[in-house]
Structure 1
Amino acid sequence: MPRIRIFLLLLLLNCFCNSAIAQSEEISDAKIDELINQACLHLNKSNFEKSLINSRAALNYAFLKKDDYLIAKCYRIIADNYNELSEFDKAIFFYNKTLSYANETNNDSIRYGIYNNLGNIYCFEKKQLDKGIRYYKKSIAYGLKVNNFKHVYFTNMNIAWVYFDIGHFNEGAPFLKFINSYQKRDGDKSSPIIVNMLNGMFYSYKNDYKGADTYFKKAIESGKKGDEQSNLSYAYLEYSNFLLKNRKYKEAYENLSLYNKITEELYGQEKLKKASVAGFNLELDEYKREIDKIENEKITQSQSLKKSKIIVVLFILISFIFLILIFTLYKNIVIKKKANEELLKAKEIAEEASLLKTQFISTISHELRTPLYGVVGITDMLLDEHKELYRSQYLSSLKFSARYLLSLVNDLLQINKIEENRVVLENSAFNMRDEINMIKNSLSFLSKKNNNQVLVNIDSDIPEELIGDKLRFGQILMNLVSNALKFTKNGEVIIMASLVKIEQDNYFIEFQIKDNGVGIAIADQGKVFDKFVQVGRKEEDYQGTGLGLSIVKKLLQLFGSTISLKSDIGEGTLFTFTIPFQYSTEKIQIIIDEIDFESNNLYKILIVEDNIINQLITRKIIEKNNYKCSVVNDGFSAIDLLKKEEFDVVLMDINMPLMNGFETTRRIRSIGILTPIVALTAFDKDEIADEAISSGMNDIIIKPFESEKLFKIINNLILEEKNVGC
Structure 2
Amino acid sequence: MAFTRIVILVTLLLNFLGSTLLGQTQSSTKKDIDKLIYKASKLRESGNFEKSLLITRIALRKAIFIKNNELIAKNYNVVASNYNELMEFDKAIFYYNKALIFANLTSNDSIKERINNNLGNMYCFEKKKYEKGIEFYKKALEYSKAIPDSSQMALTNLNITWAYFDIGRFRNGKYNLDFLNRFHNKHEDSSTIVIRKMLNGMYYSYSKENDKADKYFLEAIKIGQEQNNKSDLSYAHLEYSKFLLKQKAYKEAYENLSLYNRLTEEMFAEVKSVKANIAGVNFELDEYKRAIDKIESEKYLQYKSLKKSRLIVLLFVIVLFVLLLFLNSLIKNNKYRRKSNLDLMHANKELIIANKKAEELSHLKTQFVSTISHELRTPLYGVVGITDLLLEEHQELATSPHLNSLKFSARYLLSLVNDILQINKMDENKIVLERLTFNILDELNMIKNSLSFIAQKNKNTIYIDVDPTIPESLIGDKLRFAQIFMNLVSNALKFTNNGEVWIVVKQTKIKGNIHTLEFSVEDNGIGIAPIDKDKIFDKFVQVGRKEIDYQGTGLGLSIVKRLLELFGSTISVESELGKGTVFRFAIDFEYDKVKATEIINDIDINLTFGQTFNVLIVEDNLINQVITKKTIERNNYSCTVVEDGYAALEILNTEVFDVILMDINMPLINGFETSRRIRQNGIETPIIALTAFDKNEITEEAIAAGMNDIIVKPFEPLQLFKIINCLIQNAKSVV
TM range (shorter): 0.5 to 0.7
1:585 to partner: Cα distance: 2.3
Does 2:450 match 1:442? Answer: yes
Tell me the equivalent position of 2:585. Answer: 577
Does 2:341 match 1:405? Answer: no
In structure 2, distance between residues paired with 1:574 and 1:585: 33
Q: Secondary structure at the match of 1:394?
A: helix
Does 2:311 match 1:375? Answer: no
C-alpha change, 1:624 and 1:533, in structure 2 (3 Å) is same
In structure 2, distance between residues paired with 1:636 and 1:334: 36
C-alpha change, 1:582 and 1:724, in structure 2 (3 Å) is farther
The structure 2 residue matched to 1:665, chosen from 648, 667, 675, is 675
The structure 1 residue matched to 2:664, chosen from 640, 650, 654, is 654
The structure 2 residue matched to 1:603, chosen from 603, 609, 613, is 613
Letter in 2 for 1:707: P
In structure 1, distance between residues paired with 2:619 and 2:429: 33
Does 2:694 match 1:684? Answer: yes
Tell me the equivalent position of 1:634. Answer: 644
Does 2:519 match 1:511? Answer: yes
Tell me the equivalent position of 1:264. Answer: none
1:645 to partner: Cα distance: 2.3
C-alpha change, 1:666 and 1:571, in structure 2 (3 Å) is same
In structure 2, distance between residues paired with 1:510 and 1:581: 11
Q: Secondary structure at the match of 2:505?
A: strand
| Contiguous gaps of at least 5 residues in structure 2 | 1-268, 281-351
Contact residue 595 and residue 709 of structure 1 kept, 8 A: no
User: C-alpha offsets along residues 599-643 of structure 1, whole Å, 9 cap, x if unaligned?
Assistant: 233222211111010011111111112222211111111122223
1:583 to partner: Cα distance: 2.0
In structure 1, distance between residues paired with 2:724 and 2:272: 54
Tell me the equivalent position of 1:719. Answer: 729
Tell me the equivalent position of 2:212. Answer: none
Q: Secondary structure at the match of 2:416?
A: helix
Does 2:395 match 1:387? Answer: yes
Does 2:485 match 1:477? Answer: yes
User: C-alpha offsets along residues 84-112 of structure 1, whole Å, 9 cap, x if unaligned?
Assistant: xxxxxxxxxxxxxxxxxxxxxxxxxxxxx
Contact residue 596 and residue 708 of structure 1 kept, 8 A: no
Does 2:539 match 1:531? Answer: yes
Contact residue 512 and residue 574 of structure 1 kept, 8 A: yes
Letter in 2 for 1:376: V
The structure 2 residue matched to 1:544, chosen from 537, 552, 559, is 552
Tell me the equivalent position of 2:655. Answer: 645
Letter in 2 for 1:406: L
The structure 2 residue matched to 1:564, chosen from 561, 572, 576, is 572
Letter in 1 for 2:466: I
What TM-score do the two structures reach when normalised by structure 1?
0.52
1:335 to partner: Cα distance: 12
User: C-alpha offsets along residues 10-39 of structure 1, whole Å, 9 cap, x if unaligned?
Assistant: xxxxxxxxxxxxxxxxxxxxxxxxxxxxxx
In structure 2, distance between residues paired with 1:689 and 1:555: 26
Q: Secondary structure at the match of 2:277?
A: coil
The structure 2 residue matched to 1:695, chosen from 697, 705, 709, is 705
Letter in 2 for 1:355: H
Does 2:561 match 1:625? Answer: no
Contact residue 506 and residue 580 of structure 1 kept, 8 A: yes
1:721 to partner: Cα distance: 2.0
Contact residue 650 and residue 677 of structure 1 kept, 8 A: yes
Letter in 1 for 2:612: L
In structure 1, distance between residues paired with 2:271 and 2:510: 71
C-alpha change, 1:724 and 1:480, in structure 2 (3 Å) is same
* Cα RMSD, aligned residues only: 2.2
In structure 1, distance between residues paired with 2:514 and 2:271: 67
C-alpha change, 1:507 and 1:655, in structure 2 (3 Å) is same
1:190-269 aligned at under 5 Å gives the runs none
Q: Secondary structure at the match of 2:653?
A: helix
In structure 2, distance between residues paired with 1:540 and 1:353: 34
Runs of 4+ in 1 over 6 A off after TM superposition: 333-340
1:337 to partner: Cα distance: 6.5
Contact residue 466 and residue 582 of structure 1 kept, 8 A: yes
In structure 1, distance between residues paired with 2:376 and 2:276: 36
Tell me the equivalent position of 1:499. Answer: 507
Percent identity between the two aligned chains: 63
| Contiguous gaps of at least 5 residues in structure 1 | 1-332
Letter in 1 for 2:685: T
Q: Secondary structure at the match of 2:565?
A: helix
The structure 2 residue matched to 1:433, chosen from 427, 441, 448, is 441
The structure 1 residue matched to 2:278, chosen from 342, 359, 375, is 342
| Residue-pair matches, total | 393
Tell me the equivalent position of 1:361. Answer: 369
Tell me the equivalent position of 2:460. Answer: 452
1:53-452 aligned at under 5 Å gives the runs 341-342=277-278, 346=353, 347-348=355-356, 350-452=358-460
Q: Secondary structure at the match of 1:644?
A: coil
C-alpha change, 1:647 and 1:456, in structure 2 (3 Å) is same
In structure 1, distance between residues paired with 2:467 and 2:379: 39
Letter in 2 for 1:565: V
What TM-score do the two structures reach when normalised by structure 2?
0.51
In structure 2, distance between residues paired with 1:518 and 1:585: 43
C-alpha change, 1:336 and 1:405, in structure 2 (3 Å) is closer
Does 2:720 match 1:710? Answer: yes
1:569 to partner: Cα distance: 1.1
Q: Secondary structure at the match of 2:430?
A: coil
Contact residue 505 and residue 583 of structure 1 kept, 8 A: yes
1:336 to partner: Cα distance: 9.5
In structure 2, distance between residues paired with 1:334 and 1:504: 65
C-alpha change, 1:342 and 1:505, in structure 2 (3 Å) is farther
User: C-alpha offsets along residues 367-421 of structure 1, whole Å, 9 cap, x if unaligned?
Assistant: 1110111011111111111122222222122112111211121122111011111
C-alpha change, 1:576 and 1:388, in structure 2 (3 Å) is same
1:432 to partner: Cα distance: 2.2
